[in-house]
Amino acid sequence: MRSSILETMRVLCQITILLLFPVFIFSQSEVQVKAIEFYNEGVISMKEKEYDDAKHFFSKAIELDNNFPKPYYQRALANMYSKDFKGAAIDFKKSTSFEDYKVKAQYYLGYSQVQLKDYERAIINLREAKTLDPDNEKIYYYLGYIDFIQKDYEGAMELFQSAIDKGYESEKVWYYKGMAHYKTNDIASAIPCFEKQMAINPDAEKTSLTLLNLHQKLENYEEVVSYANSYLSSHPEDVEVMNMKATGLLKMESYSLAQKTYDAILDIEPSNTTALKNNLFIAQKTDDKERMIIDLSRLVKAEGPSSEYLFKRATVLVGLERIDDALKDLDVVIEQNPEHNKAYYYRAILHGKKQENEKACEDIRMAAQLGYEEAFQYVRSYCPN
């Protein structure tokens, strides 16, 4: 009797298992199908660059099936594209355990840690990525970037060159390679790197200014003018760059163009003394007396009626036979500096030309008294008594 009861119970258990097992299989299959549906929705959102929606769908897929590799990797990408590098690093780390995603996930894990400035972990993971995928040129670039940030410029240059040799032609690699050379004072090697960057991205304004400064240091004035012109085409009122251009033209002895550039600076900054003084220098070099008067007058206006500029203007006015104007300037010079012996001398000459003999005599005696040697030979001429 007892054995009959046990047998009956065993049969009932078997029937129960047979009845429930299809339900369990159906339930598991339904969950996986739903997970795939969420995953596919996430993929669509990724294509539309709706990264928040994509992360939502991938997370739903993972909740339903946490052994489903694809949503982990795709959610990591969605995090990365939306600049959530912390979230990206977590999912990429998980994805390295899936064989299909191990190689790519290892690189992106290191990349995300670079963005998080977690350089210690980034180095470990990027080196592991290099072992898995030695031809990935970007790995060498980011390892080089870390070396650059940590001021290992020699190591950085070597890694940047490896990235370039493997076909990495991003403007970034040329920029940082150039900066590594610059940081080691190898300007001659830095310039070609920056020029390569400019060839890739002609609008790299920061690099354009860097090249401008480097060529100025090397006194490559034609290049200075060329880069300045390029930069000024989009920044026509950048006075600092205009000044660098004008200086280059001045060094090349292109006086007319330099003067025009300084005039353009003065249109923006009328009291720019560097431009005023350099324009005066050009006028003196070209013996343009009328222009010298203009520039000296601007300097007087910008810096006030200093005896230095007034005296210079007086001497130029003398050369132009503008005696009365010259006398006015000399009067102010002597008023400001009663011991300016040369001013007395010039004023004596001008008074003599105007037949103002008493004034001429008084001034020539004062010039001699103050020690101006050339005045002594004229004392008798101007003071016969």
Residue 6 pLDDT: 44
Report if residue 162 sits inside a domain. no
Q: How far apart are CA 53 and CA 218, in angstroms?
A: 54
Q: Which two tokens stand for residue 173?
A: 């690699």
Report if residue 71 sits inside a domain. no
Q: How far apart are CA 317 and CA 339, in angstroms?
A: 22
Residue 16 pLDDT: 44
The CATH number for 332's domain is: 1.25.40.10
CB 342 within 8 A of CB 372: yes
Q: Which two tokens stand for residue 220?
A: 């490559």
Residue count (the chain): 385
Report if residue 266 sits inside a domain. no
Residue 380 pLDDT: 86
Q: How far apart are CA 215 and CA 195, in angstroms?
A: 12
Which value, to the nearest 10 degrees, does the dihedral of the CA atoms of residues 260, 263, 265, 267 take? -130
How many domains does one find in the chain? 1
Residue 30 pLDDT: 84
Report if residue 368 sits inside a domain. yes
Nearest Cα to 238, choosing from 247, 228, 248?
Answer: 228
Residue 3 pLDDT: 52
pLDDT tens track for 190-229: 999 999 999 999 989 999 999 999 999 999 999 999 999 9
| Stretch (H or E) spanning 183 | helix 171-183
Q: Using a cut of 0.85, tell me whether the model's pTM lies above it.
A: no
Report if residue 355 sits inside a domain. yes
Residue 20 pLDDT: 40
- Provide DSSP, 93-141: HHHTTSTTTHHHHHHHHHHHHHHTT-HHHHHHHHHHHHHH-TT-HHHHH
Residue 28 pLDDT: 55
Residue 32 pLDDT: 86
Which residues of the chain are modeled with pLDDT < 70? 1-28
Report if residue 309 sits inside a domain. yes
Residue 335 pLDDT: 95
| Stretch (H or E) spanning 357 | helix 357-369
Residue 237 pLDDT: 95
pLDDT tens track for 107-146: 999 999 999 999 999 999 999 999 999 999 999 999 999 9
Quote the domain boundaries for residue 344: 305-385
3-state class percentages of the chain: helix first, strand second, coil last, to nearest 5: 80, 0, 20
Residue 273 pLDDT: 93
Nearest Cα to 283, choosing from 274, 275, 291?
Answer: 291
Q: How far apart are CA 118 and CA 308, in angstroms?
A: 61
Burial grade of 312 (CB within 10 A; 0-12, 13-18, 19 or more)? buried
Residue 21 pLDDT: 39
Report if residue 347 sits inside a domain. yes
The separation between CA 130 and the C-alpha centre of its own chain, rounded to angstroms, equals: 31
Q: How far apart are CA 143 and CA 153, in angstroms?
A: 12
Residue 25 pLDDT: 38
